[in-house]
A and B are shown apart, each in its own frame.
Chain A
């Protein structure tokens, strides 16, 4: 966390980015229900006013699922109060945000175990069993 985070940003003004974003999310949810692909929105690509990111977070709220993963630094995965809308925050090992995405999907793919990792794990398990039986 950098020292800048400790300066409270006082945003007195509205810029009107939150509502259009919510509309975009609504359309993405409708597409998802119709069997189309999910949608990922990169928060870095949005022209946000000071404090607006927080307002988006508040507007989305917290849902039932909260997952943390630890790969090249912590990542938090939150299902928002709207099922199917996930807030994913990637941080580096210093805790700095390196990417922030809103994913509209049934299940964020980053949570799935990857074949490469499964293979590595399988080898490790095999080795362990071999050692144990030896």
Chain B
């Protein structure tokens, strides 16, 4: 796609009919979790959409987010959207590296100053700049430098959005999230470990279509995808309401598809779209295959206790400490009883002395 073309023109030159374009639009609206009634609006906006430049920075991450995105087989709607953006710098995907890559980044930044979209995956180590560098540049410096001219920042994955696994206790690298560092730009947090690919592209599609930031929740996540919990949309919910729980992964309840709350499902406290959008082209999601949600789209999900501990169970339970407390209580009781006795004996003596 040429930079001076809009998306509508580009698709026509590719031989895509209006009907094909409308099909693309309904798939895109569905991708953005918009109601089907919004298709006309999407079509209008997309036809005249300009191709935004995207710079993708990868910091302390496992490449899972990029994998999640690129593993969706081409050419899907997602890949059409990718054709429609200009991915000018993606450290992991591009052929060039080192100086050459850095030049590409700087060129894209200059050419699209104030307009490009910055996508970040991975957390940023503050403990020591040397923990993670690209072409000798620390993550912190690169993020600050690149964010300056960005129109908006999309933090892809729980690491970039909230610190993620690198930040898990005891956080050896002093990892922080993008929003801990960048405070003067709109930031969209697309959390998940990894995020659902359709959600990543859905957010990109929204920016491409409307040129605006979607509505966000208090953690900066698009409410279209993160507005409800897994539990809100879970098909096992009726079992939860009735109190029918699987007690182990292979008991009668598990076979009957009962609720996984007792097995540590974090669905009730996890905001994500897995229960409806699902994974692997809509095939299934963890609960669909009998495993509870880990809560991967939530801040600190790694440190909320075991994945298999039910949410209603305490995170603390030390019998030794409670026995110690009991012993302390007993000592206090003995002490106060002795004191009371001493007072009483004294009073008796005094009264006996008085009466004699």
Contact = CB atoms under 8 A, between A and B. Distances in A.
Interface of A: 2, 4, 11-13, 15-17, 40-42, 44-50, 52, 69, 71-72, 75, 90, 92-94, 96-99, 101, 109-110, 113-117, 120
B280 interface: yes
B235 A40 contact: no
A130 to B, nearest CB: 22
Nearest to B257: A13
Interface residues of B, number: 39
B37 A50 contact: no
B168 interface: no
A96 B17 contact: no
B346 interface: no
A98 B27 contact: yes
B349 interface: no
B33 A49 contact: no
Interface stretch (B62-70, B71-79, B100-108, B171-179): B71-79
A20 to B, nearest CB: 11
A49 B288 contact: yes
Contact of A47 (B27, B234, B255): B234
Contact of B19 (A41, A45, A110): A110
B22 A49 contact: no
Interface in B258-289: 275-277, 280-284, 288
Contacts of A71: 16-17, 19-20, 23
Given A92-B75, A96-B76, A117-B18, 5 more contacts: A4-B281, A13-B257, A71-B17, A99-B23, A99-B77
24 contacts: A2-B73, A15-B235, A15-B257, A41-B36, A44-B30, A44-B33, A44-B276, A45-B276, A46-B276, A47-B234, A48-B235, A49-B236, A71-B17, A71-B19, A72-B16, A72-B24, A96-B76, A97-B282, A99-B26, A101-B26, A110-B26, A114-B19, A117-B18, A117-B19
A117 B16 CA distance: 10
Given A44-B276, A44-B282, A114-B22, A15 B16 contact: no
A87 to B, nearest CB: 14
B277 to A, nearest CB: 6
B238 interface: yes
Contacts of A114: 17-19, 22
A49 B238 CA distance: 12
Contacts of A4: 280-281, 283
Contacts of A92: 75-77
Contacts of B91: none
Nearest to A16: B238
Interface in B158-208: none
Contacts of B33: 44-45
Given A69-B19, A101-B26, A47 B235 contact: yes
Given A15-B236, A49-B235, A44 B277 contact: yes
B52 to A, nearest CB: 22
A90 B276 CA distance: 18
Interface string B1-35: 00000000000000011111011101100100101
Q: Considering the complex of A and B, which 10 residue pairs feature the smallest CB-CB distances, nearest first?
A: A71-B20, A40-B36, A114-B18, A13-B257, A49-B235, A116-B18, A99-B27, A47-B233, A72-B20, A98-B27
Contacts of B36: 40-42, 101
B343 interface: no
A100 B58 CA distance: 34
A12 B235 CA distance: 13
A44 B17 CA distance: 25
B257 A12 contact: yes
A69 B19 CA distance: 9
Pick from A12, A40, A69, A93 the residue with the most CB of B within 10 Å.
Answer: A40
A64 B233 CA distance: 34
B17 A117 contact: yes
Contacts of A94: 73-76
A100 to B, nearest CB: 8
B256 interface: yes
Nearest to A5: B283
Contacts of B74: 94
Nearest to A103: B36
B16 to A, nearest CB: 6
